Amino acid sequence: MAEPRVSRRDFLRLGLLLPAAGPLLSTLAACAKKPAERVVNFFNWSSYISKEALPGFTAATGVKVNYDVFADEEEMFAKLRSGAMGYDVIVATDYLLPRLRGSNLIAPIPMEDLKNLSNLDPKFLHTPYDPEQRFSVPYLWGTTGIGFNKKLVAKAPTSWWDLWDERYKGRICMLDSPRECIGTALLLKGQPETTTDEKDFEAAKELLLKQKPLVKQYTSATYVDALVAGEAALAMAYSGDVLQAVKENPHLDYALPKEGGYMWVDCMCVLRGAPHLADSVALIDYLLRPDVAAGICNAVHYASPNAAAQPRIDPAVLKDKRVYPPAAVVKNLRYHTPPDPEAYVLWNQTWSDVKAL
């Protein structure tokens, strides 16, 4: 198991080749001038990979990987929509795929060239967000729940309402994500994410504004550091982020609320007009190898959709119910539902109001 904490949302802590966005864009331009150089430009969550995977791919194929990162998907989506050029492969959460397709940002993947596609568990294929299995390849999956520092809470959290507990004023972190925060507020108000009723969004906003004085920070990047340092007692959190950090602070733990947490699948996609298509497909296929997929799962503590990788995954990870929830718990988990296009305005305005007021 890899030793450094490698967070889905945190900044790099490993010795991977990871240029900053500015230098990478220069690299992309340089690559465009050197068509003979074999390279793949990979846009992924920060440090959301094992330290061996990309060097292993380069050693096996001779293809260099430039690994650029984003802290949240709205940032990634906005960057791609603004015309950022040169990226080949991205990792995106399932609910974002309809928006990526609707904006003509991703292209069909030649699935027939993926020899390792059959390694995936069929239940992760032909899903509602990609029913024809043309635009995405599952990478990892996980849940959204509550991370907490056991030394700083009176008892382990069991409900989303625990993030509104005034005893922890100034020691609660919330994800900087409208999907997670507004979605949870709608859930607590008994409304579906598919609602287009302005009154529902107003009620969700009021609930989040009531919570705001208790919130230390809205962040998808540094909440784990706050938990580790004892600066936060509770945080809306992604499962693997917290579980990786247990090695730094054994008092950390993770729980799924009784109302139901969120389950999501992160997928690999190829951008439309990818300048290095063949090598991009080769990278995706390499990451589907059982040994590689298992190594990634072991490093980041997010569950793998790769059925063939399961025997190679560290038994401690495989048996951890916080990583692989039992079937009874999974039944109570929810997928984020892509909103109706006309509702995007309501989501964006609600989140802007919460952050501004």
pLDDT at 71: 82
Residues 222 and 336 in one domain: yes
Q: Is residue 215 part of a domain?
A: yes
Range of the structural domain that residue 233 is part of: 143-262+332-356
**Going by C-beta distance under 8 Å and a sequence separation of 6 or more, which residues neighbour residue 44?**
67, 68, 69, 70, 90, 91
pLDDT at 64: 98
Q: Is residue 5 part of a domain?
A: no
Q: Is the pLDDT of residue 20 over 70?
A: no
Residues 137 and 147 in one domain: no
Residues 34 and 53 in one domain: yes
Between CA 298 and CA 48 the distance in angstroms is: 12
Residues 255 and 352 in one domain: yes
Residues 136 and 150 in one domain: no
Q: Is residue 6 part of a domain?
A: no
Q: What percent of the chain has pLDDT over 90?
A: 81
Q: Is the pLDDT of residue 36 over 90?
A: no
> In this structure, what CATH number is given to the domain that contains residue 297?
3.40.190.10
The closest alpha carbon to 4, from 35, 66, 60, 46, belongs to: 46
Q: Is the pLDDT of residue 307 over 50?
A: yes
Residues 272 and 133 in one domain: yes
pLDDT digit string, tens, across residues 323-335: 999 999 999 999 8
Between CA 52 and CA 55 the distance in angstroms is: 6
Distance of CA 241 to the CA centre of its chain: 10
Q: Is residue 13 part of a domain?
A: no
**Going by C-beta distance under 8 Å and a sequence separation of 6 or more, which residues neighbour residue 201?**
182, 186, 195, 346, 347, 349, 350
Q: Is residue 133 part of a domain?
A: yes
Q: Is residue 1 part of a domain?
A: no
Residues 30 and 121 in one domain: yes
> Residue 39's CB: how many other CB atoms inside 10 A?
21
Between CA 40 and CA 66 the distance in angstroms is: 6
Which stretch of 33-42, 109-118, 169-178, 212-221 has the lowest confidence by average pLDDT?
A: 33-42
Between CA 140 and CA 264 the distance in angstroms is: 9
pLDDT digit string, tens, across residues 68-78: 998 888 889 99
Residues 107 and 45 in one domain: yes
Q: pLDDT higher for 19 or 240? A: 240
Q: Do the beta carbons of residue 134 and residue 100 sit within 8 Å?
A: no
pLDDT at 25: 53
Average pLDDT over residues 161-165: 99
Q: How many CA atoms lie within 13 A of 314 on its CB side?
A: 15
Q: Is the pLDDT of residue 11 over 70?
A: no
Q: Is the pLDDT of residue 9 over 50?
A: no
Q: Is residue 15 part of a domain?
A: no
Domain count, the chain: 2
Average pLDDT over residues 140-166: 98
Write down the H helix ranges in the chain: 21-33, 53-61, 73-81, 97-102, 178-188, 198-211, 223-229, 239-245, 277-287, 290-300, 315-318, 327-330, 344-356
Amino acid of residue 353: D
Q: Is the pLDDT of residue 2 over 50?
A: no
Q: Is residue 338 part of a domain?
A: yes
